[in-house]
Amino acid sequence: SQCPYNRVRSSEPVLKINKSDPCVATHNHFVSWFRGIVHKDESGSLPNIFKNGTIPDEKKLTFDHLVDYIQLPESAPEARTGPPPRDSTKEPRNVSSHEEAQRVFEHLPYEIDPSCTANKSWWWYRTYDGSCNWLKQGEWNEGAIGTKRERDYKQYAYADGVSKPREGPNARAVSNAFFKRKEAIYYEHTPFLLGLIEFIMHDVTYSLDSTTEYVEVPMPEDEETYPLNTTFKVWRTAPMPDTGTSKDNPRENVNMATTWLDMSALYGSTPDVAHALRSHKGGKLLTQELQARGTSGKASYLPYNKMNVTTRTRPGVDPTKLFAGGDPRTNEDWMMLGVHTLFLRDHNRVCDLLATKHPEYDDEQLYQTARMVMGAKYMMIANSYQMAYWTDEMPWPNDDGFPLYRQMLDEDPIDISPATTYPWPLVTKGGKPMVVSVEMAVVYRFHEFIIPSFPIKDAGNATLWEQDLFATGFDSAGFVDAGLENIVRGMLATHIPNFKSGVDESFRSAGRYRGRPFDLATWSIVHEREQGLPTFNQYFLAYNEQDPAIEVPIRDTFEAFSSDPETVANLKRLYKHPDDVDLVVGCQLDEENFPGTTVPKASLIISLFSLFGMGNSDRFSIGYAMMRCFLVDKPWDCHPSNALEDLIWERRDVLGFPDFRFLSTFWLKEMDIEAHGANLLWRLITENSEIKCVQKKPLFPMDPESNPVLCALPKEPFDLPGVVVTALAGAKHLWKRDATKFVSSLVPGLGLIGYLRRRRRTAGAR
Ligand code: HEM
């Protein structure tokens, strides 16, 4: 089968492979899409790259075929002021990091900050703390850890205009009225989405609790679960130092994660945490190798927190006995831990691939480049997450993740395509990149997805036990005992509630969570008010003033919030005026979906729409990397500006064009570019666990017709000639770089050859 990734259909999610039923052969969607873009480009800039100004309309074209259609100019472009070509026969002259940066960023419409160019690793790779992603002079700290969260429309609704929480009805009474789990629950996705989106949120936003200020919420009279003398103690969010001093300097909130989609939940948002999580060997992250129940061998799990990175815990659980991850909430539940562990394994797998392809890379290069490959894959995964909400009514081409933007913008929305260069003005706000806002960090709490329990399933798909989800909090030993595979199988075999289902009582009336009475919904309402967020009508008035294509009607009456008479009665009982209704409450009650999606309009605008903007504000986005040497440079004069571009724009030997580079088939396949990332989740699971049969779209429950189970076929037999070719390439490089190192590298190399010969002999004797 030509179906990507050597897989076949199975009727059952078990390891029974029916070889006679291969999945449907696919073609390279990226090449088809790109052909269309070239065809449509009236500026001539893309057509001029190809012979006859076009890419032939042949179904089976691959990335490698594209290179054959390139129309080379008559001679190589004149040498630029920057670094000379690497393969140049002349001795490379010493070029400073600053000079090189000036050259590769000369297309940026602003001056770049010298503090980012002093050291090449600060602009060539992602920094740990998220700084220097945005390079503009004086603004290099945008999106970094420890910076203030933006406000979508500069609204500060504090009671005193400075820092006092906005007034509102008792937050638990509001939770009881509007956030209780509904009788009719809407199901759509698998809990894999729950773990994934929770991981994504932890990646981009982390509100630190204040240690001195809190809001007390007494139980309302209609309380049915907690004793009436119970009080919730909600710690306010830590403010940005030196803010909240006057109306001109209102209280701001600090984000203690990098805002970028950079997997900081895996790698850490500070150099200290990041270094503590690294093995410093082969670019890999630290792991512990364990054999979980029902598996055939040892596999990687997150290390226990012996290195003492900041980790949230619950009373009685020693944080050094929990897993160490990039984010303090790493141990919050097993859903997220399942996804986190798969990413951990994938990072280390990518390091192995990189080491084979680039034997010249040292630990630092392997780690930083793998981090960027992972970031690229993860962005495409985040894309497929948002695409999991499109319906058949989505009016725009919907395989590239851009329909939301096309929906929102009036002018020629069809022209909005992933063929853009960095920075893309459409996703900047006030001339700056889009980052997590206070509104997003509160409204994007999709806690309705939480389920009370899920099955732990063995390799034969039998349920070992039903696992209470609440009980999985801060229990790493239990995670290991249950085993990643058995947990992930359970996550793929069941479903979660969708919007409008209410928050499960196990987390809304949680008894004691981390030692205290707790209600996830009350916490959101209090945070909205203590952070001085606008109410629902205030927010959407400001939003509608931007003249968006999709408006959100202002609710002039309580009836306008809901068609349910009981809900309206509750609104009237709790609020004095429709303008007072809290933002999260209005979003929760929204009955109209964003056109072409299954997400309520108000929530989507503040959540998914913003997430898209953030992803595309990121200098290291895969989209910009893919377009670098089509739109900024040309393939015959291609100068990457970061390690990701350097990897995917591979050097090719073209006489007279020493800077000729073209897209690397190997890395584009690794990133699943040919299918716009649609297979990455399936691969994340099958390539990093013993689970080999997974539904094609793991965010949706299995369906024999629309979402069949696909099984990975066993690996190809050992490719000895391939290994020898790669080893020779590596040896040639080492010899060129350092002859002494080359000789010392031969010693383990000879050992390897001896081992292989022994292996062949033993295999022959069997
Ligand atoms: C079992 C699953 C989950 C658990 C146990 C959980 C638990 C929590 C807790 C305890 C908080 C802190 C509340 C506070 O201090 O105000 C929180 C915050 C948050 N949660 Fe969840 N959550 C889960 C799933 C999700 C999902 C699926 C999303 C999806 C979008 C999400 C998004 C958020 C966001 C955005 C915040 C605020 C983060 C911040 O600003 O620091 N959570 N969650």
CA angle 342, 295, 496 (to 5 degrees): 50
- Evaluate: CB of 335 within 6 angstroms of ligand 1: yes
Residue 15's pLDDT band (boundaries 50, 70, 90)?
A: very low
SS3 sequence of 522-563 = HHHHHHHHHCCCCCHHHHHHHHHCCCCCCCCCCCCCHHHHCC
For residue 665 the two structure tokens come to: 């088939």
Residue 722's pLDDT band (boundaries 50, 70, 90)?
A: very low
Helix (H, G, I), strand (E, B) or coil at 273: helix
Which of 147, 198, 448 for a ligand 1 pocket mutation test, highest count of atoms within 8 Å of Cβ? 198
Distance 445 CA to ligand 1 centre (A): 6
Residue 716 in this model has a pLDDT that exceeds 80: no
Tokens 């000379």 found at = 84
Model pLDDT, residue 711: 87
- Evaluate: CB of 449 within 6 angstroms of ligand 1: yes
- Evaluate: CB of 503 within 6 angstroms of ligand 1: no
Within 8 A by CB and 6+ apart from 310, the residues are: 273, 328
Helix (H, G, I), strand (E, B) or coil at 381: helix
Within 8 A by CB and 6+ apart from 384, the residues are: 401, 676, 677, 678, 680, 681, 699
Residue 384 has φ and ψ, to the nearest 5°, of -70, -25
- Evaluate: CB of 474 within 6 angstroms of ligand 1: no
Model pLDDT, residue 693: 92
- Evaluate: CB of 518 within 6 angstroms of ligand 1: no
For residue 111 the two structure tokens come to: 């001056």
Model pLDDT, residue 61: 86
Distance 152 CA to ligand 1 centre (A): 20
Contacts of 732-737 with CB under 8 Å at 24 or more apart are 733/359, 733/360, 734/359, 734/360, 737/360
Neighbours of 612 (CB within 10 A): 21
Residue 410 in this model has a pLDDT that exceeds 80: no
239 within 8 A of 482, measured Cβ to Cβ: no
Residue 706 in this model has a pLDDT that exceeds 90: no
Tell me whether the omega of the peptide bond preceding residue 717 falls within 30 degrees of 0, making it cis: no
Which of 145, 194, 201, 599 for a ligand 1 pocket mutation test, highest count of atoms within 8 Å of Cβ? 201
Q: How far is CA 176 from CA 312, 367, 499, in A?
A: 28, 48, 17
Residue 584's pLDDT band (boundaries 50, 70, 90)?
A: very high
Distance of alpha carbon 711 from alpha carbon 214, whole angstroms: 52
Q: What angle do the packed helices 334-357 and 484-493 form, to 10 degrees?
A: 110
Distance 446 CA to ligand 1 centre (A): 8
More confident residue, 412 or 425: 425
- Evaluate: CB of 232 within 6 angstroms of ligand 1: no
More confident residue, 729 or 151: 151
Residue 524 Cα: closest atom of ligand 1: 16
Residue 332 Cα: closest atom of ligand 1: 5
Q: How far is CA 534 from CA 434, 514, 527, in A?
A: 19, 30, 12
3 within 8 A of 22, measured Cβ to Cβ: yes
Model pLDDT, residue 713: 78
pLDDT digits 0-9 by tens, 341-359: 999 999 999 999 999 999 9
DSSP string of 459-506? TTS-EEEEEESGGGTT-HHHHHHH-HHHHHHHHHHS--B-TTS-B-HH
Bridge-based pairing of strands 516-517 and 512-513 is antiparallel
- For atom 21 of ligand 1, the residue with the nearest CA is 445
Distance 268 CA to ligand 1 centre (A): 18
Mean pLDDT of all residues in the chain? 89
Model pLDDT, residue 238: 95
Please state the separation of Cα 108 from the chain's center in Å.
25
- For atom 34 of ligand 1, the residue with the nearest CA is 445
pLDDT digits 0-9 by tens, 88-99: 444 445 789 999
- Evaluate: CB of 194 within 6 angstroms of ligand 1: yes
For residue 559 the two structure tokens come to: 């009836």
- Evaluate: CB of 385 within 6 angstroms of ligand 1: no
pLDDT digits 0-9 by tens, 387-404: 999 999 998 877 788 888
Residue 298 in this model has a pLDDT that exceeds 80: yes
**Complex ipTM:** 0.98
Distance 332 CA to ligand 1 centre (A): 9
Within 8 A by CB and 6+ apart from 51, the residues are: 69, 70, 71
Neighbours of 715 (CB within 10 A): 8
Bridge-based pairing of strands 7-10 and 709-712 is antiparallel
Residue 707 in this model has a pLDDT that exceeds 50: yes
- Evaluate: CB of 205 within 6 angstroms of ligand 1: yes
DSSP 636: T
Closest CA to 130 of 646, 623, 620: 620
Least confident of 287-296, 427-436, 580-589, 755-764: 755-764
Within 8 A by CB and 6+ apart from 115, the residues are: 132, 140
Distance of alpha carbon 113 from alpha carbon 110, whole angstroms: 9
Q: What is the mean pLDDT of residues 379-393?
A: 93
Neighbours of 339 (CB within 10 A): 27
- For atom 25 of ligand 1, the residue with the nearest CA is 198
Closest CA to 458 of 486, 479, 432: 486
Distance 524 CA to ligand 1 centre (A): 9
pLDDT digits 0-9 by tens, 511-523: 888 888 999 999 9
- Evaluate: CB of 33 within 6 angstroms of ligand 1: no
Terminal Cα-to-Cα distance of the chain (whole angstroms): 31
Model pLDDT, residue 5: 65
For residue 42 the two structure tokens come to: 């009236």
Distance of alpha carbon 127 from alpha carbon 90, whole angstroms: 33
- Evaluate: CB of 454 within 6 angstroms of ligand 1: no
Residue 469 Cα: closest atom of ligand 1: 1
Distance of alpha carbon 4 from alpha carbon 130, whole angstroms: 34
Q: Give the dihedral sign, CA 550/555/559/562.
A: positive
- Evaluate: CB of 440 within 6 angstroms of ligand 1: no
E strand or H helix at 601 = helix 601-606
Distance 329 CA to ligand 1 centre (A): 9
Distance 401 CA to ligand 1 centre (A): 25
- Evaluate: CB of 504 within 6 angstroms of ligand 1: no
More confident residue, 51 or 727: 51
Model pLDDT, residue 155: 98
Least confident of 82-86, 234-238, 389-393: 82-86
pLDDT digits 0-9 by tens, 108-166: 999 999 999 999 999 999 999 999 999 999 999 999 999 999 999 999 999 999 999 99
Q: How far is CA 183 from CA 163, 300, 455, in A?
A: 39, 41, 22
Distance of alpha carbon 672 from alpha carbon 628, whole angstroms: 18
- Evaluate: CB of 373 within 6 angstroms of ligand 1: no
Alpha carbons within 13 angstroms on the beta-carbon side of residue 175 total 29
Question: Which residues are bridge partners to 148 per DSSP?
Answer: 254
pLDDT digits 0-9 by tens, 247-279: 999 999 999 999 999 999 999 999 999 999 999
- Evaluate: CB of 207 within 6 angstroms of ligand 1: yes
Residue 763 in this model has a pLDDT that exceeds 50: no
Residue 753's pLDDT band (boundaries 50, 70, 90)?
A: very low
Which of 310, 520, 610 for a ligand 1 pocket mutation test, highest count of atoms within 8 Å of Cβ? 520
Q: How far is CA 616 from CA 74, 144, 328, 417, in A?
A: 36, 16, 26, 12
- For atom 29 of ligand 1, the residue with the nearest CA is 446
Distance of alpha carbon 16 from alpha carbon 23, whole angstroms: 15
pLDDT digits 0-9 by tens, 31-57: 888 998 899 888 889 999 999 999 998
Model pLDDT, residue 471: 95
Residue 526 Cα: closest atom of ligand 1: 16
Least confident of 327-336, 402-411, 482-491, 557-566: 402-411
Helix (H, G, I), strand (E, B) or coil at 330: coil
The pTM for the full model equals: 0.91
Residue 507 Cα: closest atom of ligand 1: 5
Burial degree of 623 (CB within 10 A; 0-12, 13-18, 19+): buried
- Evaluate: CB of 198 within 6 angstroms of ligand 1: yes
- For atom 26 of ligand 1, the residue with the nearest CA is 198
Within 8 A by CB and 6+ apart from 43, the residues are: none
Residue 195 Cα: closest atom of ligand 1: 27
Question: Which residues are bridge partners to 454 per DSSP?
Answer: 467
Residue 473 Cα: closest atom of ligand 1: 5
Distance 530 CA to ligand 1 centre (A): 17
